[in-house]
């Protein structure tokens, strides 16, 4: 089962031009706010029409950008927006039974299906409750039950963890992971949190300004990030410039000695662990050494991420012990060293 989306639409300042093929897998759509992720989900759900291009699910053409358009109610796409949108006038059971009822199931059958689905997700005790009495995490799970009970062909989730507390998010993440594993079709998950994308998705599609700039596994993205956003996402330093004769001249100023036999415009990535910090000028193998100032020190489990300012702003990942030994704090003067062989170049 495969979903193909090519093309897009223009709405005011947002222009979407998407190229996405999702099989029986989970793809995370990540990207900055306003990149068109939610709009892409609405296109697939049939709540918006393509201006041009096509949207197909297997052999069914859902939208050809012209006359052919399958209305949302006939697509069997589960759409889970950020707001769970449980019908406030119906109790939890009736909310979950709404889909089967709409698709022609009798009252008894719909109710049985809904009860079974609530039990499966361990939500049986909420059946008679009104949505307003549920917590954010509970409402989110009920919305998932309501979507899954319709036996959808495609599952779309928009920021499933937004606005719920941390412990509920942990619980929900587990729940979703098992739902995705059981689900026999394309799952598309919109998120801005890298951790969710890495934990839940098989592949990550990065969307910027309405376009899919890169798609691949987390490893593939990390190996050759296409944009600064992707590099930030995977935690890498990302630079652009032009190589001539083993010397990389950066677009934003500064030069670096590089080891790869590449010429012309490139993107360069440096892993934060490959950036070392020193109190005095190191005299050793590193070919790139310069002095600068620390702008921030962010502790993270096992290590700390230290940002340094220009001429080449970078992030260095060092141990907590090193932070203490060097007594680093914002404003500390340091020498930065990067080995030429640690700079990965990708021609563009």
Where do contacts with other proteins occur on this chain (CB under 8 A)?
42, 45-47, 71-79, 81, 83, 85, 87-89, 98-99, 102-103, 146-147, 150
Secondary structure class of 231 (helix, strand, coil): helix
Rounded Cα distance, 155 and 310, in Å: 44
Report the candidate in 219, 232, 222, 206 with the shortest Cα–Cα distance to residue 20: 206
Q: Between 148 and 336, whose beta carbon lies closer to other proteins?
A: 148
Alpha-carbon torsion angle 38, 44, 45, 49, nearest 10: 90
Neighbour-count burial for 266-290, b at 16+ CB within 10 Å, e otherwise: bbbbbbbebbbbeeeeeeeebebbb
d(CA 55, CA 46): 10
Nearest distance in Å: CB 131, other proteins: 12
Shortest distance, position 125 Cβ to other proteins, whole Å: 23
Smallest gap from Cβ 39 to other proteins, in A, equals 13
Give the residue with the Cβ less far from other proteins, 99 or 222: 99
Nearest distance from residue 182's CB to other proteins, in Å? 20
Q: Which is nearer to other proteins, 89 or 280 (CB)?
A: 89
Q: What's the closest the beta carbon of residue 338 comes to other proteins, in angstroms?
A: 50
Nearer to other proteins, 156 or 248 (CB): 156
Q: Residue with structure tokens 């500064």?
A: 254
Residue that the structure tokens 């929900």 belong to: 172
Q: Report the C-alpha gap between 299 and 297 in whole angstroms.
A: 6
The two three-digit tokens of residue 287, written as one number:
């070919």
Minimal distance, residue 319 CB to other proteins, in Å: 49
Looking at the Cβ atoms of 114 and 306, the one nearer to other proteins is: 114
Give the residue carrying structure tokens 């921030």.
296
Q: Phi and psi (nearest 5°) for 283? A: -115, 95
Please say which residue, 74 or 252, places its beta carbon nearer to other proteins: 74
CB 204 within 8 A of CB 27: yes
Instruction: Return the number of the residue (94 or 214) whose C-beta is nearest other proteins.
Output: 94
Of 86 and 215, CB closest to other proteins: 86
Residue keyed to tokens 């918006």: 48
User: To the nearest whole angstrom, how small is the minimum distance from the Cβ of residue 72 to other proteins?
Assistant: 4
Least distance (Å) between residue 330 CB and other proteins:
44
Ordered strands of the 77-80 beta sheet: 60-63, 52-57, 3-11, 14-22, 211-216, 203-208, 26-30, 187-191, 154-158, 77-80
């Amino acid at each position: 089962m495969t979903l193909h989306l090519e093309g897009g639409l223009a709405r005011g300042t947002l222009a979407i031009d998407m190229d996405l093929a999702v099989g029986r897998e989970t793809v995370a759509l990540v990207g900055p706010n306003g990149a068109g992720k939610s709009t892409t989900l609405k296109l697939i759900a049939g709540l918006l029409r393509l201006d041009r291009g096509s949207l197909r699910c297997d052999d069914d053409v859902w939208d050809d950008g012209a006359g052919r358009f399958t209305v949302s109610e006939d697509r069997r796409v589960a759409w889970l927006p950020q707001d769970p949108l449980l019908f406030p006038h119906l109790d939890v059971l009736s909310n979950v039974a709404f889909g089967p009822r709409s698709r022609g199931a009798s009252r008894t059958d719909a109710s049985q299906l809904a009860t079974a689905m609530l039990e499966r997700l361990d939500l049986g005790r909420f059946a008679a409750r009104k949505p307003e009495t549920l917590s954010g995490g509970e409402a989110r799970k009920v919305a998932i039950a309501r979507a899954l009970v319709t036996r959808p062909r495609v599952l779309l989730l928009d920021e499933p963890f937004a606005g719920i507390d941390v412990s509920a998010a942990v619980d929900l993440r587990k729940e979703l992971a098992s739902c995705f594993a059981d689900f026999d079709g394309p799952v598309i998950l919109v998120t801005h949190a890298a951790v969710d994308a890495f934990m839940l998705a098989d592949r990550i599609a990065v969307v910027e300004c309405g376009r899919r700039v890169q798609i691949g596994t987390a490893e593939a993205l990390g190996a050759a990030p296409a944009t600064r956003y992707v590099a930030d996402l995977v935690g890498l330093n990302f630079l652009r410039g032009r190589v001539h004769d083993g010397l990389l001249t950066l677009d934003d100023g500064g030069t670096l000695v590089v080891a790869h036999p590449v010429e012309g415009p490139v993107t360069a990535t440096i892993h934060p662990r490959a950036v070392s910090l020193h109190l005095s000028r190191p005299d050793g193998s590193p070919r790139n050494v310069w002095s600068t100032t620390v702008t921030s020190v962010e502790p993270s489990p096992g290590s700390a991420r230290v940002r340094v300012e220009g001429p080449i702003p970078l992030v260095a990942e060092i141990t907590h012990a090193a932070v203490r030994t060097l007594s680093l704090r914002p404003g500390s003067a340091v020498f930065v060293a990067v080995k030429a062989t640690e700079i990965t170049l990708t021609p563009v």
